[in-house]
Structure 1
Amino acid sequence: MENNNRFRFASASDSDLILEFIKELAEYENLSSEVVATPEILKEWLFVKEKAEVIICEVDGSPAGFALFFHNFSTFLGRAGIYLEDLYIRPEYRGSGFGKAFMRKLAGIAVERGCGRFEWSCLDWNRRSIDFYMSLGARPLSDWTGYRLDGDSLAALVGMQSI
């Protein structure tokens, strides 16, 4: 990776670009049908409500990738951590050290902010990413299974009768 790149925090004017990255990532993960975000939704949640942060990597002024993350909290540690929701690097920039540079940047933010953890999830079939994360010293959390409520199941829980 050469010195003609830079990492920067995204601004509201990047909402269209962030959505482009999200759509490209969804296509890679065979999940394009799940993308319902719009630039307006992203502006509201990222830049008005400030519920997550985005870092963009540029090479010679061209966008090469993005990372979207937010703070979570560890009750056991008693302090915040960083959760990496998405990391995406465009195909033409892969294999050039940008993934490692992104992870170092995010780890640096976690350390700078006094966070106790830096966590993320990876699809089970994504062997290339798993191998990459393991090469960084990351370890899988084999004792934990992720769960999700969304859409109708989320609404149904809200409507359930309480005891």
Structure 2
Amino acid sequence: MDFNNIRIRKAVSNDMIYVAAMIKELAAFENLPDAPQIDHKKLIEDGFESKKPAFKCFVAECLSTNTLVGHAIYFPIYSSWEGRSMFLEDLFVKREYRNHHIGSNLIKAIAKEAFNENCIRIDLHLLSSESPARGFYKKLNAVNLTKNGEGSDWNYVRFRKEAIAKLAE
């Protein structure tokens, strides 16, 4: 596999059939295979055909095989205490493409957008059982806001303004 031939780009509506499949892969990875109730048509409708898209998406594309190997779904949120923010709903890289900086490059693409839009933070939820993912986000300077990072099925994780600026470089 050619890991140097990966391009991060904004998703287009035609990508949603592959993103929907990756959402199902992510759910299976999280041991929740029946959880996704969405299909590519709904993703297209909500993200590309709406006057106010409900989400934005970056994809990782392997140029040598013309296939999508990862995605990041995110959307703007607002903090009444701090102002503009973003929420990372999904970050997924296909198993055979992991550990080659694709996930961090997807995060960096979101961080650049967040930085350019003067966002103060990027928030996400992470299953407690995903200890490798917690290490991944910590390495990128995200802070786990969940008490001691344990004791809940979900962890609340945040990239603060300084981490966003560093990732956006």
TM-score after normalising by structure 1 = 0.82
**Cα 1:146–1:53 shift into 2, 3 Å:** farther
Structure with greater Cα Rg = 1
- Which of the residues 84, 88, 93 maps onto 1:84? 88
Contact 2:69 2:94 in 1 (8 A): yes
Equivalent residue number for residue 72 of structure 2: 67
Deviations along 1:11-51, one digit per CA (max 9) or x if unpaired, are 11122111111111111011111111122211111112210
Which sections of structure 1, spanning at least 5 residues, go unmatched?
148-163
TM alignment of 1:20-99, pairs within 5 A: 20-49=21-50, 50-60=53-63, 61-77=66-82, 79-99=83-103
Matched residues, number: 146
In structure 1, give the amino acid aligned to 2:60: C
Larger strand share, 1 or 2 = 2
Aligned-partner Cα distance in 1 for 2:10–2:68: 12
In structure 2, give the amino acid aligned to 1:4: N
The alpha carbon displacement at 1:138 in A equals 1.0
In structure 2, give the amino acid aligned to 1:21: M
Which sections of structure 2, spanning at least 5 residues, go unmatched?
155-169
Equivalent residue number for residue 166 of structure 2: none
What is the DSSP-based 3-state SS (H/G/I as helix, E as strand, rest coil) of the residue aligned with 1:48? coil
Q: Identity over aligned residues, as a percent?
A: 28
Aligned-partner Cα distance in 2 for 1:28–1:63: 18
RMSD (Å), alpha carbons: 2.1
Deviations along 1:75-109, one digit per CA (max 9) or x if unpaired, are 111x2211000000001110111121111111111
The ranges of structure 1 where at least 4 consecutive aligned residues each deviate by more than 2 angstroms after the TM superposition are: none
